[in-house]
Amino acid sequence: MSGGELGWRDLEVGFVVTEPGNAAAYKTGDWRSEKPVRENEKCIKCGICFIYCPEACIEETEDGFFEANLFYCKGCGICAHECPRAVITMVEEAEE
């Protein structure tokens, strides 16, 4: 749900949003100009990237590594900066 299809008559009084927590439906991934790319062979699974991510969009995978959810990742690069083993490189987004 982006809301982009709603007309002014569709809004509740005072623009009240009646669906709690619907900010999760808002894609912030398209703010990104660089995306984090991982070389998991160097990763020690310390979870520092997970802790530092200001968007809280890094999730632990089943095998204990970490991955950013690119629907939300804004490409700030804090994970790459904080990683003690330089696992993460920020790579410019290119048109696919």
Residues in contact with other proteins by the rule CB under 8 A:
2-4, 6-18, 20, 22-23
Residue 4 CA to residue 76 CA, distance in Å, equals 26
Residue 32 and residue 93 in contact, taking contact as beta carbons nearer than 8 Å: yes
Smaller CB distance to other proteins: residue 9 or 84?
9
- What residues form DSSP beta bridges with 68? 58
Return the structure tokens found at 81.
Answer: 């900066």
| Residue 47 CB, nearest approach to other proteins (Å) | 30
Residue 13 CA to residue 34 CA, distance in Å, equals 39
Smaller CB distance to other proteins: residue 6 or 56?
6
Return the structure tokens found at 69.
Answer: 């959810």
| Residue 27 CB, nearest approach to other proteins (Å) | 11
* Residue pointed to by tokens 């048109």: 95
Smaller CB distance to other proteins: residue 8 or 84?
8
| Residue 61 CB, nearest approach to other proteins (Å) | 31
